[in-house]
Amino acid sequence: MNLSPNEQLMARKAAATPRGVGVMGNFFADHAENAELWDIEGRRYIDFAGGIAVMNTGHRHPRIVAAIEAQLKRFTHTCYQVVPYEGYIALAEKLNALTPGKHAKKTALFSTGAEAVENAIKIARAHTRRAGVIAFSGAFHGRSLFAVALTGKVQPYKAQFGPFPPELYHVPFPCHCASLEEVKKAVQQLFKADIEPSRVAAIIFEPVQGEGGFNVIQPAAVQWIRELCNEHGIVMIADEVQTGFGRTGKLFAMQHFESLGVVPDILVSAKSLAAGLPLSAVTGRADIMDAPNPGGLGGTYAGNPLAIAAAHAVIEVMADEGLPERGRQLGDRLKAQLESMRAEVPQIADVRGLGAMVAVEFNRAGTAEPDADFTRRVQAAALARGLIVLTCGVYGNVVRFMFPLTIPTAHFDEALGMLVGALRDAIQPA
C-alpha cells in the first residue's frame, strides 16, 4: 500500500507516541507565515486556531524572528537563578506597568500556563497562610496535577488522574449559563458546608473561559468576586493565559473591568506572551508576590532568554500595529457573519465572545440539547476547505476562533467564505 507522507507520519506517530497526547489534525506542519500554514504535502490552510491562542501576532512575525535571532547569537540559557540577565528584569518591568492597576507590582517568569497557575496558587497560599482555593465549573487551568484539579471539566482532562489535591472547590461560572444569584448562593453554601472563608487563600477565574466554551464573565460578577475577596482577605487571581495579549480587544481582558474599579491581585499570562516560545508570567501586588521565601519560585528554564526576547518584541508589535483594536474589529465582523447565518443554520444556539475571542454554540435544531456531532461536522468541513478551527465547551458543542490579529484582510475574508461553506456542508453532509 502506498501511503502519503502525512499517512506515513500518522503511522509513525501511533507507534511512537502515547494516545493520551491527542492531536486534531491528520496532517503535519511544514512551514507557516502570519495566518497561513502549509503541510508537508504542500496543502495550504488558514489558521484560525493559532496554536490554541498562541499566535496573536501571527506565525513568524519578522520583528519577533529578528529579536529571537539576535538573542540566539548572544546566549540561549544560563538559568536565571544562577546567572541572571537584564531581559528578564526588563520584561518584568513592562508587565508590571502594562497589567491593570497602578499599585506596586512584581513579576515572576515561568515556562507554561499551568506552571504559572500553580505558582500563583503557591504565592497566594504563602501570603495568606491558608490552603483553600475556589475555582469555577467549566474552567481550564492546565494539565499538571494541581492545575487540572482546578479545571472544571472532567473529559478529557481529569478522567483517570485522581485523587486530586484537597481544599479545592468549584462553583458555577457566572456567565450566560448561570446567574450571579445562583453563584452567590453556591458560594454561601460552600462557606456553610465545606470551608469557612477564613481558610480560603484564593479565588481563580478566567475573564473569558477558554476550554469551557468561550464563556464571558458577567461584569457584575467580577465586581462581586472583588468585594468577596476584599471582605475575607482572599487573593483574587485572574487567569489570562488565553485572554491576554490582545485577544479580547484590550491587551488584557481585566482592563475591561477597570472602569468598575476592579483589578486582580494576581494576573497570570502565557500563550501569546512569547508568540510560540514557552514563557509564562505571574504578575501581582508586590507585597503578595514577595511572600514566598527565596528559592520558592523559579525553574530551570523559567524565563528562557529566547522566549523573553520574543515577548519584548510581541509587546512592541501589539502597540505599534494596534492589534487589540484590530482584533476587536475583526471579531465584530466574525460575529456579524455568524449571526447572519442563524436562519440558514438552525443549529446555531449562540454567538458570543469578547473582542477577537469569538465562539459559536450548536444545539439540535429547535431544542436546547447540545449537538456535538454537528459541531464536529462543522470542524471537519472547515478543515476540508482549508480552515483550521477548534472545538470546546463542556459538551463539545462549541467552535472557537483564535485567528492571528495580524491576519491580512484578504485572508480574513477568504476564511469567512470557507466558514460559511463549512456551515452549509455540515447541514447537508455528503
The string of pLDDT tens digits covering residues 250-300 is 999 999 999 999 999 999 999 999 999 999 999 999 999 999 999 999 999
Taking Cα atoms as reference points, which of 96, 98, 126 lies closest to residue 108? 96
Q: Residue ranges of the alpha helices (H) in 35-139?
A: 50-53, 62-72, 86-98, 113-128
C-alpha cell at 54: 498562541
Regions in the chain scoring below 70 on pLDDT = 429-430
What is the domain partition of the chain in residue ranges? 5-60+322-427, 75-320
Q: Cα(242)–Cα(247) distance, rounded to whole angstroms?
A: 8
Per-residue pLDDT at 159: 76
Report pTM. Answer: 0.95
Residue appearing with cell numbers 494596534: 322
Per-residue pLDDT at 326: 97
Domain 75-320 classified CATH 3.40.640.10?
yes
C-alpha cell at 76: 540561549
Per-residue pLDDT at 429: 66
Q: Would strands 390-392 and 398-401 be described as parallel, antiparallel, or unpaired?
A: antiparallel
SS3 state at 390: strand
CA distances to 33, 277, 326, 404 from 408, in Å: 11, 23, 11, 9
Q: Cα(117)–Cα(280) distance, rounded to whole angstroms?
A: 9
Per-residue pLDDT at 165: 83
Residue 251 carries which DSSP code? S
118, 309 contact by CB (below 8 A): no
Per-residue pLDDT at 286: 98
C-alpha cell at 263: 483589578
Cβ contacts of 77 within 8 Å, gap of 6 or more: 301, 304, 305
Per-residue pLDDT at 142: 86
> Which residue type does 274 have?
A
Superfamily of 5-60+322-427 according to CATH:
Aspartate Aminotransferase, domain 1 (3.90.1150.10)
